[in-house]
Chain A
Amino acid sequence: MANVRLVQGNVACAMGALAAGSTFYAGYPITPSTEIAEHMAVALPKIGGIFLQMEDEIASMGAIIGASCTGAKAFTATSGPGFSLMQELIGYAAMTEIPCVIVDVQRPGPSTALPTLSSQGDVQQARWGCHGFHSIIAIAPSSIMEIYYQMINAFNLAEKYRTPVIFLMDEEIGHLRERFELPDNYKPEIINRKKPESDLEVYLPYINDQSNGVPPMANFGDGYRYHISGLTHNEKGFYSSVPSVVDTEIRRMVGKIEDNVDDIAQFEEIGAADCDILVIAYGSVARSAQEAVETMRADGLSVGLLRPIVLWPFPTDYFTKACIGKKAVVVAEMNLGQYAREIRRVVHTDIPLKSLTRVDGEFVYPDDIIDAVKEVL
C-alpha cells in the first residue's frame, strides 16, 4: 500500500516521461496541459535535466528537436491552439526522423473555443496536421496508470522508429485524479535509438537498407558530422530532387511506420470477439464505454468493447476483421466522428455504423452509449 497515491493525469504524464528517461522539456503554458510543464519545472533541475519555457509553441518544438539531435529524450506538452502552431515542426521532425514526443491535452476547437473543457477534436489533426507525405504514431490513453505506462511506450516508439509521437490526452483524463500504484521494484523497459556502427566517413544517416526501414541515428557530438535538413534528401542527408531518390526516401519514411503497424498497434477488448454489437471508443470516452458495455452485458445484451490504445498508424486489417459478423458497430467520441469515419472506411458496407458524437465540451456518458446501442439493436 505504501506505493499507492492519488495522481492527476497530467502529473502521471510527466512522471511517465521521467520514467522513460526524458531529460528535456520545452513548452508554452496552455490550459488544460499546464500541470505537465509545472511538474517538469520542479523535477528536471533535480536530475540535472533541462526545463525551458519558450516564447511560443513553435519555439518549443524547435528546442525539443534540437535537444533530441544531441541524444536527449525530449518532449513538449500543449493543447489545441498550441498544437496547431506546432504542425510545421512536427512535419520537420517526421521528415528528418528525429525522435520526440508531443503531448496534446485536447480541448474543444477550433480557435479558443472552450479552454477548460474536454474534446477529442484533434484526432485527425494528429494524423494529418502537417503538410505533405508522412506517417505518425498517436497514442490515446484511458486511465492514469495507462498514461504513465504509455508515456514510456511513446518515448520508446519515438526512439525505435525515429519519429515524432503524438500523445493524445484530453482535458477529462488530464485533470482526472485516480489511484496510482506501481508494482514493487518496477523497472520499465527502455528503448534507445540505434546508434551507427559504421566508420565516421561512410555513415549514412538516412540509409535505406535496414529491415524495419529505420536508419541508425548518430547524435551531435558523437563524432559523426552529418547534415540534417527538412529538404528531401539522399542517404547522406543532403538535398536531392532526383525523383527516384525522393520517392524511395518518402516511401521508406512512411513505410517504416505503416508497415510495422502490427508492432505498434495496441488494443483492449471486452467480449469483442463474440458480441452482436461492437462499441469502439478510445481515450477518456472509453471509460464511459466500458461502464456502458458492462452494464448491458450484465443485462444479457450481446455487446462488446474494442478500445484502440494506439490510434495511428491505423490498423486497417484488425478493424476489418474485428467487425466481421457484427449486427452493428457504435463509435463514441468527443468530436463529429473523426475516428468513426476511419472505421467506416474499413468495415464491410453491409454493417451499420452508428457514430455517437459530442462537441459541446460535455462528456459522453454511459447512458448516451447505452441509448446509442439500443438504437441499433
Chain B
Amino acid sequence: MKKCYEKYFRDNLPQIFCAGCGNGIVMGAWARAMEKMGLDNNDCVGISGIGCSSRITSYIDLYTLHTAHGRALPFAIGVKMCKPEMNVFVFSGDGDCAAIGGNHFIHACRRNINMTLIVINNSIYGMTGGQYSPLTPTGHFATTAPYGNIDPAFDLCKLAEASGATFVARGDIYHARQLTDLIVEGHRHKGFSVIEVVSGCPISYGRRNKIYGAPALLKHIKEHSVPVATAAKMGDEDLKGKWRVGVLYKAEAKEYVEAYQELVAKVQGGIK
C-alpha cells in the first residue's frame, strides 16, 4: 500500500544519495509535514540551489526549480512575488546557504517574505567530496582542512534571527518526528521561516572525523542535540560543542508580499 505522504514524491528512483545520507530523512520529514498540512502538490513550489541536499527538488512532486549554487532564495523571491498564493519551500545546504548564498540568506531574512527555508547542515560540502563549509566546527577535518579547520563557524540560527527572519528553528535527523513538526510550524508561520537541520554525511564528513557509518553519525547527532527547554537549564560550559534543537525564535513582523501589496494599493489609490 502506498503511504499517504508518498504522493509528494516523484516516481524517479533511484535517487543519488549515498546509503545512510541524512537527505532522505529530511525529505521524508518534509513529506510527512506536507501530509499533516494537507497541502495540494499543485499549490506548492520547491526551489533549491546546488549540492547533494539541493537535489531534493528533483524527487519531490511539486513545481520544482533546481537553480545555481547559493542562488535559490532570489529565484524563490521572484516566484513568490508573482504567485503569493503558492507555498514556497526552499532546500539548501550549509555551503549553499551560508557560504556562496550568505548574502541572499541575510537579505531574504531581512525582507521577511513568507516562505520556508530548510537548510540541511551536514557540516561539509558533500557534493564536491568533503571540503569545509562555514558551518564546519573549528577543529574538524575536511579535504581542504587536512590539519583541522581553523575557521570559526556561524551559528546560522542566530544569524537568521539577527537578520530579521521571524521563525527560526533547529531540528536534526535523529529526531525526525520533531523535524516534521518544526516544518509544519515553520510553514504555518507567516513570514520567513528558517529551519536548520543538523544532518549527517557519513561519506564526506563522518569518515574524515572518525565517526564511521550512518548509525554512529546518528548517535553522535542524538547525543549532541539538546532540546531548548533542557538547554535553558544548562550552563554554557555544558552546552559547549552541542546545539539546541526546537523553536529558537518566533516573532510577528510585516510580511514582504503583504507590504508590497499595500504599496500597490496606496499607489493605485492615488495617495502621494
Contact = CB atoms under 8 A, between A and B. Distances in A.
Contacts, number: 122
B74 A221 contact: no
Contacts of B61: 225
A203 to B, nearest CB: 12
Contact of A89 (B68, B73, B79): B68
* Chain A contact residues: helix, strand, loop or mixed: mixed
A67 B79 contact: yes
A68 B264 CA distance: 20
A129 to B, nearest CB: 15
B74 A50 contact: no
Contacts of B82: 24, 50, 66-67, 70-72
A69 B75 CA distance: 9
Given A220-B65, A229-B57, 12 more contacts: A24-B81, A50-B260, A55-B107, A56-B103, A62-B74, A62-B104, A63-B81, A65-B78, A66-B65, A66-B78, A71-B82, A220-B63
B255 to A, nearest CB: 15
13 contacts: A26-B78, A45-B267, A50-B81, A58-B74, A59-B104, A63-B77, A63-B78, A66-B75, A66-B78, A69-B63, A227-B10, A227-B64, A229-B57
Contacts of A71: 82
Contacts of B68: 62, 88-89, 92, 230
* Chain B contact residues: helix, strand, loop or mixed: helix
Which of the four size classes fits the interface of chain A? 35 or more
A54 B81 CA distance: 13
Contacts of A239: 58
A48 interface: yes
B63 A67 contact: no
Interface string A55-88: 1101111111111111110100000000000001
A69 B79 contact: yes
A58 B63 contact: no
B62 interface: yes
Nearest to B77: A63
Contact of A52 (B57, B77, B264): B77
**A54, A71, A74 — which one has the most chain B CB atoms within 10 A of its CB?**
A54
Contacts of B268: 45-46, 48
A238 interface: yes
B159 to A, nearest CB: 15
Interface residues of B, number: 36
B66 interface: yes
Interface of B: 10, 12, 41-42, 45, 47, 57-58, 61-68, 71, 73-79, 81-83, 86, 103-104, 107, 260, 263-264, 267-268
Contacts of B64: 225-228
A231 interface: yes
**A55, A62, A220 — which one has the most chain B CB atoms within 10 A of its CB?**
A62
B30 to A, nearest CB: 16
Query: 10 closest pairs, A vs B, by CB?
Result: A66-B78, A62-B74, A66-B75, A63-B78, A59-B74, A229-B66, A67-B78, A70-B82, A45-B267, A220-B63
A67 B81 contact: yes
Nearest to B55: A239
Nearest to A54: B74
B58 to A, nearest CB: 6
Contacts of A70: 78-79, 82-83
Given A221-B86, A227-B57, A239-B58, A65 B75 contact: yes
A104 to B, nearest CB: 19
A183 interface: no
A63 B63 CA distance: 16
A89 B86 CA distance: 24
A66 B77 contact: yes
Contacts of A88: 68
A159 B10 CA distance: 29
Nearest to A26: B78
Interface in A219-257: 220-221, 223, 225-231, 238-239
